[in-house]
């Protein structure tokens, strides 16, 4: 079953964040993932959730997604994202096919 990482973020230091943007795609691909939404400005439809930017990553399985999150080589990139943005990240399973 596919799994998705959904990231809601507001970038506060784009020049420093660019290091993350340039490097993270290779690690996503290494774990079988792909971007299906990349830095898009969302349109709120209901409720009071107003994210500034959205990223959605698709992985073949929850295990691939957690391997990506836990990859020791990605930790320095996540530190850059944490330092340069305000972000929220959730992992969700897709529907059974």
pLDDT in tens, 62-97: 999 999 999 999 999 999 999 999 999 999 999 976
List of residues 6+ apart from 42 with CB closer than 8 A: 51, 53, 54
- Name the average pLDDT for the chain: 95
How far, rounded to the nearest angstrom, does the alpha carbon of residue 2 sit from its chain's CA centroid? 15
Query: What CATH number matches the domain at 3-91, 3.10.129.10, 3.50.50.60, 3.30.70.100, 3.90.1300.10?
Result: 3.30.70.100
Phi/psi of residue 32, nearest 5 degrees: 80, 10
- Check residue 96 and give its pLDDT: 77
Tokens for 49, please give them: 């959730």
Domain residue spans of the chain: 3-91
Gap between the Cα atoms of 97 and 90, Å rounded: 21
């Amino acid at each position: 079953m596919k799994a998705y990482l959904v990231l809601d973020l507001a970038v506060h230091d784009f020049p420093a964040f660019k290091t993350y943007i340039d490097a993270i795609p290779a690690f996503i691909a290494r774990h079988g993932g792909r971007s299906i939404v990349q830095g898009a400005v969302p349109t709120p439809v209901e409720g009071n959730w107003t994210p500034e930017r959205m990223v959605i990553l698709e992985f073949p399985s929850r295990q691939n997604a957690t391997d990506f999150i836990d990859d020791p080589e990605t930790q320095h990139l996540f530190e850059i994202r944490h330092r340069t943005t305000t972000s929220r990240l959730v992992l969700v399973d897709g529907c059974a096919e």
